[in-house]
Structure 1
């Protein structure tokens, strides 16, 4: 499961990669935990490393890695070829000389929509945070002084950019990581830990070279609520209360409700109801699902209660809304 503060994406975004590797369509060298692809990392080996790997794609594919979140910070680089990458509304064509970093709450995808010929490497590291307002804690194997780790965390938390041009030092670091990923054997994971640490050290220089001041808003409680609300539309089926929404943001009910009003000018439950009604209307217009099933998809255990709320919101019944959506357009006069 790939979970973050702005939603839970239950479909495995790595499934197309895993299938392509199993078919032999691509070269794939990877280690991971849980649902991540590759050889399983043993307990106690590089704790906090969720995934690292390299793919070598020599021909354009018919798949991509769809929108998803990770449970840690992901660093991605390309050493040969080019591939599309998007985070939020920003798109890039990544090639050699680029690196991306996505935080746990940043939705992103690789392939626009499909993966093109390239050699791409990545690693995903837990930092003890799933929300913008949480402090970071790096795994013990990252071989940087604590002051540098704290500085790197501050640089990444105070910016929301996800892609950077890199210099020769970082290019050499990712080349060494690529070689380590291609060379399994004795002490392979020890080498990987050192090479990933090198990349993170070079990342400090990359970020310090950016003439942009850290934005305190990006680590604020209000930003955390903003991220949560942005992802709430993907989680309308969950049994939310004001208390559980506030808890998901690490806030008390009063403070959470205050920030919600500041951001969307309504109460949390009114905002949730609006999202649920929009979702229900889309399902009524675009699927053959029963009203009872649609009610469940919108977080209502009772189809009658769903119909009542729907009628209050749209001034029509769910069935009337479905008939209006499927009615043929009038003939030209």
Structure 2
């Protein structure tokens, strides 16, 4: 399978909603604010690994922050499932707009479609371990494909996959055996240039997954198959349009939105109607107008035309017409008003933006 050709579930034009660039982390290392030891493929920071070595392992490493930092990671998604372990310290962690306060011993699991960040807004002190493993999915309804060097028996792989797919709880308290494996993985990273290091790394990662399977199997979790449905993929996409101006501002077509969620136009439109009581294009327009309304109030230095184009409108005249229909005021008059902006809703009656 060619994993490099898998696109993230949402294209969002703004960097904060794309795959993690790790730029704040890279800059912190450069300035000596943290010490970092990592192995990487692609854009992640660390010592480069050959693509043929442990295929699917995109990044593995740990950092030490001896004191509270003046930087944090932006919201992002990863090219794979990410497992982290906070060995010492404390820091804030946000997943899909839910905040968690991590402490020493916290274990986190995020899926490729889950938007998350560390810091609120800054990173706290601590030693953080992580692993990003590509299982060939970007949407919750896709079938997981574990790398061939994962040695769990088929039944165990299927059970671990089910536990991770049917439950999206992101934070746990790590058992002692999981913590120990992460420490052993740190030693593998430090000794990467020694003989047989890749084999040792493969064994430790398999051990980690086995320990994770045993731990999750013992937890009282609700099994929710709806989390891996096609409807769930559409729900996540619509939520992203509503929350992320960069995603809503992309040059979407109806066919493009449906294809991005992995289905045809008819099924996509039906799920959209069920979820927001609106057609896809109408909902997209309402999201764009809502984002534009907030930007008019919060970004007075930008012109109306700039805001219109940034939110996916090809014509400032059409934007003004659609805006007045929605908010009963011109963009200029609305900017002068006070009061909260109504949240996006799946309204009806607007033509496609453009």
Residue 81 of structure 1 is matched in structure 2 by 89
Matched, 1:216 2:229: no
Q: Which residue of structure 2 aligns with residue 330 of structure 1? A: none
Please state if 1:5 is matched with 2:17. no
Aligned-pair CA distance for 1:10: 1.5
**Match for residue 293 of structure 1?**
306
For residues 129 and 50 of structure 1, the distance between their equivalents in structure 2, rounded to whole angstroms, comes to: 14
Structure 2 residue aligned with 1:177: 185
4+ long deviations beyond 3 Å: 1-4, 6-9, 187-190
SS in 1 for 2:337: helix
Aligned twin of 2:60: 52
Give me the whole-angstrom Cα distance separating, in 1, the residues matched to 2:29 and 2:197.
21
Which shifted more, 192-201 or 263-272? 192-201
Q: What is the rounded CA distance, in whole Å, between the counterparts of 1:285 and 1:270 in structure 2? A: 23
Judge conservation of contact 1:13–1:65 (CA < 8 Å) in 2. no
Match of 2:204 among 189, 195, 203: 195
In structure 2, how many angstroms separate the alpha carbons of the residues matched to 1:113 and 1:320? Answer: 34
- Equivalent pair of 1:49/1:125 in contact (CA under 8 Å): yes
Q: Is the 8 A contact 1:224 1:249 kept in 2?
A: yes
* Structure 2, gaps ≥5 residues long: 340-354
Q: What per-residue deviation string (whole Å, max 9, x for no partner) do you get for residues 229-285 of structure 1?
A: 111132111111221111111122111111111111111111111110011112211
Distance 1:81 1:286 in 2: 36
Query: TM-score normalised to the size of structure 1?
Result: 0.92
Q: Whole-Å Cα distance in 1 between the matches of residues 110 and 179 of structure 2?
A: 19
Q: Matches of 2:235 and 2:96 in 1, distance apart?
A: 14
Q: CA deviation at 1:18?
A: 0.6
Matched, 1:259 2:271: yes
Deviates more, 1:285-294 or 1:49-58: 285-294
Q: CA deviation at 1:153?
A: 1.0
Question: What does residue range 274-313 of structure 1 map to in structure 2 within 5 Å?
Answer: 274-287=286-299, 288-313=301-326
> Is the alpha carbon distance of 1:3 and 1:120 closer, same or farther for their aligned partners in structure 2, counting shifts above 3 Å?
farther
| CA-CA distance at 1:208 after TM superposition | 0.1
The separation in 2 between residues aligned to 1:294 and 1:91, in whole angstroms, is 30
SS in structure 2 of the partner of residue 66 of structure 1: coil
Does structure 2 retain, via aligned residues, the 8 Å contact 1:6–1:229?
no
The verdict on how the C-alpha distance between 1:134 and 1:305 changes in structure 2, with shifts beyond 3 A counting, is same
Post-superposition Cα deviations, 1:12-60, rounded to whole Å, max 9, x if no partner, equal 5511111111111111001222221112222211211111111011111
Pairs within 5 Å for 1:1-333: 4-6=8-10, 8=12, 10-11=15-16, 12-186=20-194, 187-233=196-242, 234=244, 235-287=247-299, 288-324=301-337
- TM superposition shift of 1:325: 5.1
Secondary structure of 1:137's aligned partner: coil
Q: List gaps (5 residues or longer) in structure 1.
A: 327-333
Q: What displacement does 1:148 show?
A: 1.8
**Contact 1:3 1:70 survives alignment (8 Å):** no
8 Å contact 1:6–1:232 — kept in the other structure? no
In structure 2, C-alpha distance between the alignment counterparts of 1:27 and 1:6, rounded to whole Å: 32
